[in-house]
Amino acid sequence: MAKLGLGTVHFGMDYGIANTLGQTTPEEVLTILESARSSHIQTLDTAPCYGGSEAVLGDALAQLGSHDFRIVTKTPQFGSARISRAEAEEVERTFERSLANLRQSSVDALLVHDANNLLVPGGEFVFEAMGRLKQEARVGKRGVSVYEPAQLEALLARYDIDLIQLPLSILDQRFIESGLLSVLKQKGIEIHARSVFLQGLLLMPESTIPAPLSAVAETRHRLDSFVNETGLSLVQAALCFVNQQPEVDIVLMGVRTSNEFKKNAADFASIAGLEFDFSPFSIHDEALVNPSKWEL
């Protein structure tokens, strides 16, 4: 199950519009990691802005002992429209804190958390700071987390990127329809897919979908009919859609409890080799599929 990765945002904060359970307890985090290790999951995705996620993860990994997890973390987010060389040094300072919290000497990848930080004047200083960490062998790969195809196109024109993390779900197929998944694979860039449940929106009962996102309901109704016909659950359908994209290297899945992890991991195993046409369920209104634009 090496293609499945574990998102850890729930380890450090209450996250997601469908989350009714709150933050995961440290005891539950350890149980989840034990199950993940047993399931041969290798990738853990975290970030310094995920509350206490890195520290909770570091404590749990220390208790776990030996492991083969690949850890991916992220840079701080810069809010300014221009980044100076001195400001970009915060990348290295934050990274030192991340390593201390994670109790690691290096990580597999460091991603720019806000892709726009590389596109504003001075963005190259951020990338250069990451390059120094890579030269020191404390970072394996330099990458970027993106929200929109236009961001990715601009980044590819300016930077030599090792890894891209992007949103991909049954409802949000923008990176497939733009042809960018194929472009990334042709360039040999590793692809991590996140938001496979669209922050829980994909799995919410239609009656509980927030009013500003109510336009999703019609597509969800058709999707519900589809999964009933195929015998899949919504979770299985969501995982099947992303898993059947050959360009995707890692499918990131966030969980809140060990029982949720075990169920979702079993669902992921159950859809191996299955393929369906999910293109009719693609939503083209970015205000609905891009959580950064939600006004809830």
| 129: CATH | 3.20.20.100
How far apart CA 121 and CA 136 sit, in angstroms, is 26
* Residue range of the domain that includes 73: 3-293
Q: Which residues pair with 252 in a beta bridge?
A: 5
> Average pLDDT of each block of 10 consecutive residues along the chain (296 residues)?
90 63 88 96 95 95 91 95 96 98 98 97 98 98 97 98 98 98 98 95 90 93 96 97 97 94 96 96 95 86
* 8 Å CB contact between 141 and 112: no
How far apart CA 97 and CA 121 sit, in angstroms, is 26
Domain count, the chain: 1
Q: What is the DSSP string of 61-119?
A: HHHH-S--PEEEEEPPPP-SSS--HHHHTHHHHHHHHHHHHHT-S-EEEEEESSGGGGT
Angle (CA) 266 271 273, round 5° = 135
How far apart CA 75 and CA 91 sit, in angstroms, is 6
Residues 6 or more apart whose CB falls under 8 angstroms from that of 98 comprise 48, 54, 73, 107
Measure CA of the first residue to CA of the last residue in the chain; give whole Å: 35
How far apart CA 99 and CA 80 sit, in angstroms, is 25
Amino acid at 178: S
List the beta strands (DSSP E) in the chain.
4-7, 43-45, 70-74, 107-112, 139-145, 163-167, 190-194, 250-254
* pLDDT (0 to 100) of residue 129: 98
- Report the SS3 class of residue 291: helix
* pLDDT (0 to 100) of residue 51: 87
How far apart CA 257 and CA 88 sit, in angstroms, is 36
> How far is the CA of 148 from the CAs of 86, 144, 285, in angstroms?
28, 12, 12
How far apart CA 87 and CA 119 sit, in angstroms, is 15
* pLDDT (0 to 100) of residue 72: 98
* pLDDT (0 to 100) of residue 9: 92
Place of tokens 């209450």: 14
Joined together, the tokens standing for residue 56 give: 């909770």
How far apart CA 152 and CA 43 sit, in angstroms, is 22
* pLDDT (0 to 100) of residue 14: 66
Residues 6 or more apart whose CB falls under 8 angstroms from that of 235 comprise 197, 203, 263, 264, 267
